Copies of this chain bind each other. A is one copy, B any other.
Amino acid sequence: MDFFDVVHTQRSIRRFKPDAVPDEAIWKMIDAAIRAPSGSNTQPWGWLVVRDEGKKRVLADAIRAGFEEGGRLQQMRENAAKIEDPTQRRMMERAVEFFGNVAAAPVLIIPCLVSLTSPVSNIDSLFAGSSIYGAVQNLMLAARAQGLGTVLTTFNIAHEDLLRREFGLPDNVRPVAVVPVGYPQGQRFGPTTRKPAETVTHWDGWGATRDR
């Protein structure tokens, strides 16, 4: 696929066909991920690929339980039902369904930042992200280029202890995202819409925007 077609049609996919994702497709995603730049080319990453149904279920149950606390998921469901615009309503219903059943994705990929020198507690600055989230973006674009859907989530934040325990993460390893992967069901890829580039591009000084 053409590079710009891939970039302009990547969108968050939250409903997946049950079809298995072949090993070869996963290798191709990770081969793309690791081409991204990292500080001093240290490549400080690991890619945890989860297909085991039991392990996916443990994580998905914890995520659902988190959303159900204080009736939050039910509230979201009721709010979604009241949305008048059918496209908006369907999007919201799909998000609620997704939060309740993350294990429905055939694969979860959990990108991890790996420190060669520090315990994980020291890996917590905005700028450390420059050596991993570019690689995560390559991973997701390479999925799109193969017709696979992904969605970037940070469920890892609320469930780091569980991930650490369930997958045996060492002290110098920190999960930075949870990326469900699968063939899209009932959802098409983009083109996506965004705030126009003209409104977020500043020429030689903040606030100096202009038309093209």
A-side interface mostly: mixed
Q: Tell me, yes or no, whether A99 is within 8 Å of chain B by CB.
A: no
A128 is contacted by which of B49, B129, B203 (Cβ under 8 Å)? B129
Q: Tell me, yes or no, whether A70 is within 8 Å of chain B by CB.
A: no
Q: Tell me, yes or no, whether A147 is within 8 Å of chain B by CB.
A: no
Q: How far is the CA of A35 from the CA of B140 in the complex (A)?
A: 12
Find chain B residues with CB under 8 A from A10 CB. Answer: 35-37
Q: Is the CB of B168 within 8 A of A207?
A: yes
Q: Is the CB of A140 within 8 A of B212?
A: no
Q: How far is the CA of A49 from the CA of B212 in the complex (A)?
A: 14
Give 20 A-B pairs besides A133-B133, A168-B206 with Cβ atoms closer than 8 angstroms. Answer: A3-B3, A3-B142, A4-B145, A30-B197, A34-B195, A34-B200, A35-B190, A43-B194, A46-B202, A47-B200, A48-B206, A49-B202, A123-B126, A126-B129, A126-B174, A127-B176, A130-B136, A130-B177, A134-B140, A167-B205
Contacts from A to B (Cβ < 8 Å): 1-8, 10, 12, 23-24, 26-28, 30-32, 34-37, 39, 41, 43, 45-52, 55, 113, 123-130, 132-138, 140-142, 145, 151-152, 154, 157, 167-170, 173-174, 176-177, 190, 192, 194-195, 197, 200-207, 212
